[in-house]
Structures are given as structure tokens and as C-alpha cells.
Structure 1
Amino acid sequence: MRIRRLLVVALIVGVSSAAMSSVAGASGAVEEDRACIEKVADAKQTPDGEFYKALDNCRKAKSLIVPAVSEMLWGGLAFLIVAGVLMKFAFPSLRKGIKAREEKIRSDLEGAEQSRIEAEAERSRYEAQIGDARSEANGIIEEARRDADRVRKDLLAKAESDAAEVRQRANEDLQLARDRALSDVQQQVTDISIGLAEKIVEHNLDPATQQALVESYINSVDR
């Protein structure tokens, strides 16, 4: 790495020197052209031979547009050196950096895709768990509803059975009371009839006296 830096510094110094020499050469050419133009202007005051000679010298002077062959050679050599150094040292590092950057971007993209896939899977699992919990809750609610209906029906059936049993017992008690009352009445009527018959047999009375006797006997029985 240190050698590479030294080479780059040397390359920069060399290129700078070549550029400075080119600038210096161009500056010198400008001065020469200015002097040549002044000579041509002065040659107008001289015979025609001097004027054409000065003009021919100006034509042979260095051109500002087309550099000299030596400058072209040095410039081409400097360009080749710069290109070679760049291809040897800079371009591999640049390609390596670009490749590393591409690998990092690719790795980041793959990581993001993997994270997205994992997030989708987690979301699917979460939705499945929610669906299972919802189904389980619905099942529990439905079972509780069935249990409540069954308990309600059992309670209604038991209440109806108890009510029927109570009604039956009440009817039985009422019937028993009726039977007892009827038996008592029948017994009382029998006793009254027997007593009355005994009284009538004992006394031979007229109808009015018999009626009074019957009423008196009934009153005595009530007491």
C-alpha cells in the first residue's frame, strides 16, 4: 500500500512536470510569435526581401494549435504511464471495491428478502394461531350454549315433573279428603236414619210431630 502511494505521488509529480513544461513551451511559443509579428511589422518599412524573409520565419515558428513532435512524444509517454499505473494499481482496487460493494448490496438484498420471507412466515403463523384461537373460542361458546340449553331443558323438565307430582299429590289429597268427607256424611246419614227410625218405631206420631221430632234429632246430632 505504501509503495502504491509512492508510485501515485511520483506519477502525479511526473504528470505535473510534463504539464508545466508544456505550458512553459506554449508560453515561449507565444513570446516567439509576438516577436515574429513585431519583426514582420518592422519589415514592412524595409525592402520586400526583408519582409518576405521575416514572414517566412514566422511561418516556420512553433504553432500554438499543433504541438511539437517532442511534446507529443512526451505527452503520449506520460499518458501511457498514467494509463499503465491506473490499470496496474487503481483499476484492480476500483474493481475490487465495486465488486465488494456489489457483494454487500447483494448480501443486503438477500438479507432483506430473507427477512421479508421470515416476516411473511411469521405473519402466516400468527394468522393461523388467531384462526385457531377464534375457532376454539367459537367451539367453547357453542359448547357453553349447548350446556346452557341442556341445563335449561333439564330444569324445565324437572320443574314440570315436580309440578305434576305436586298436582297429583294435591289431587290425591283432595280426593282422599272428599272420600273421607263423603264417608263421614254417609256415616252421619246412616246414624241419623237409624236414630230416626228408632224414634219413629218407638212413637206412633202424627206427621207434624214426626217432623218436629226429626228436626229435633238433627239439631241434637249437630250439637
Structure 2
Amino acid sequence: MGFFNIWTFIFTIINILVLYYILKRLLFKPVTQFLEDRENKIKSSLEEAEREKQEAYNLKAKYEEILQNADNEKKAIIERAQKFAEERANKIIDDANKEAKAIIERAKEEASLEKIKAMHDLREELSQLVIDAASRVLEKKLPINDEDIIEEVIEEAGASWHK
């Protein structure tokens, strides 16, 4: 039995070594390769995720900058529009004031011309009245200081003036 035990022991060791070699070739190498590939894939995914995270931060910063620039531009446009509107309003007010002054000046000139015309018409009418009064005085051969004729001429003048 001792001999059998040694051969069995040697045979078992050879079987174990062959089995180890076969398992190493067929199982350990593919499993190890699979685990290394999986580890590399995970590392690659983590690096990709980190890179994408950094890109996202960069894009976020860029978009925030764009939004800030847009906000600043919006404020600048509003300020320009308000300034333009204010300038336009001031110009319209100035133009309206100038037009109002021109209208007032024209009205004053027209009033002055109407006054001159009225004075001229009054002079003509008074001249006509004086001529009428003088001709009546001459027709009646009355003295020029006759108050009745003068009052009659003045009443006729007042009646024609109110017409």
C-alpha cells in the first residue's frame, strides 16, 4: 500500500498540475484578460465621464458668459432706446415750442396788421364823415359851429359804424 500511495500521490500531483495548466490556459487567462479589459473599460469610462464633466463645466461657464453678455447688451440696447426716445421727445418739444412761438408771432403780426387796417378804415370813415358834415354845412349854409348838424352827423356815423 505504501507504493500505491506514492504512485497515487504522484499521479494526483501530475493530474493537479495538468489540471492547473489546462485551467490556466482555458480559464485563468481569459478570465484575467476579461477582468483587465473590464478594468480598462471602467477606467476609460471614468476618464470619459470626467472629461465630459469638465466639458459640461466649460460649456456652463461659456453659456453663463454668453447670458451675461446678452444681459449687458440688452441693458445697453434699452439705454440707447431710452436715450433716443428722450432726445426725440426733447426735439419734438423744442419743435413744438418753436412752432408755438412762430404761431404767436404770426398772430401778433396779424393782429397788428388788423389794427393798422382798422385804423386806416376808421380814418377813411372819419374823413368821409368830415366831408359829409362839411358838405351839409355848406348846403345849408349854416355856420360851422351848429351843434345840431354835428350831432346828427355823429349819430349817423355811429349807426353806420355798428352795422
TM-score for both structures, normalised by structure 1: 0.53
Q: Tell me whether 1:171 sits opposite 2:101 in the alignment.
A: yes
Task: Provide the rounded CA distance (Å) in 2 between the counterparts of 1:132 and 1:113.
Answer: 28
Q: 2:23 corresponds to which letter in structure 1?
A: L
Q: Deviations over 1:99-126 (max 9, x none)?
A: 4422321221111111111122123223
CA shift for structure 1 position 83: 0.8
Partner of 1:119 in structure 2? 49
CA shift for structure 1 position 130: 3.6
Task: Provide the rounded CA distance (Å) in 2 between the counterparts of 1:172 and 1:95.
Answer: 112
Which of 133, 157, 160 in structure 2 is aligned with 1:220? Answer: 160
CA shift for structure 1 position 218: 5.3
The 5-angstrom pairing of residues 100-115 of structure 1 reads: 100-115=30-45
Task: Provide the rounded CA distance (Å) in 1 between the counterparts of 2:100 and 2:14.
Answer: 125
Q: Deviations over 1:36-78 (max 9, x none)?
A: xxxxxxxxxxxxxxxxxxxxxxxxxxxxxxxxxxx13321221
Q: Are residues 110 and 193 of structure 1, via their aligned partners in 2, closer, same or farther at CA, if it must alter by over 3 Å?
A: same
Partner of 1:94 in structure 2? 23
Larger RCO, structure (CA 8 Å, separation 6 or more):
1
Bigger Rg, structure 1 or 2 = 1
Which of 43, 48, 62 in structure 2 is aligned with 1:132? Answer: 62
Task: Provide the rounded CA distance (Å) in 2 between the counterparts of 1:180 and 1:220.
Answer: 25
User: Which stretches in structure 1 are left out of the alignment for 5+ residues?
Assistant: 1-70
User: Number of matched residues?
Assistant: 150
Task: Provide the rounded CA distance (Å) in 1 between the counterparts of 2:114 and 2:59.
Answer: 80
The 5-angstrom pairing of residues 136-151 of structure 1 reads: 136-151=66-81
Task: Provide the rounded CA distance (Å) in 2 between the counterparts of 1:205 and 1:127.
Answer: 117
CA shift for structure 1 position 145: 3.6
Which of 199, 202, 208 in structure 1 is aligned with 2:130? Answer: 199
Which of 157, 161, 181 in structure 1 is aligned with 2:111? Answer: 181
Partner of 1:77 in structure 2? 7
Task: Provide the rounded CA distance (Å) in 1 between the counterparts of 2:64 and 2:159.
Answer: 86
Comparing 172-181 with 159-168, which one deviates more in the overlay? Answer: 159-168
Task: Provide the rounded CA distance (Å) in 2 between the counterparts of 1:109 and 1:103.
Answer: 10
CA RMSD of aligned residues (A): 3.3
CA shift for structure 1 position 157: 1.8
The 5-angstrom pairing of residues 14-29 of structure 1 reads: none
Task: Provide the rounded CA distance (Å) in 1 between the counterparts of 2:151 and 2:123.
Answer: 13
User: Which stretches in structure 2 are left out of the alignment for 5+ residues?
Assistant: 135-143
Task: Provide the rounded CA distance (Å) in 2 between the counterparts of 1:211 and 1:164.
Answer: 58
CA shift for structure 1 position 212: 7.2
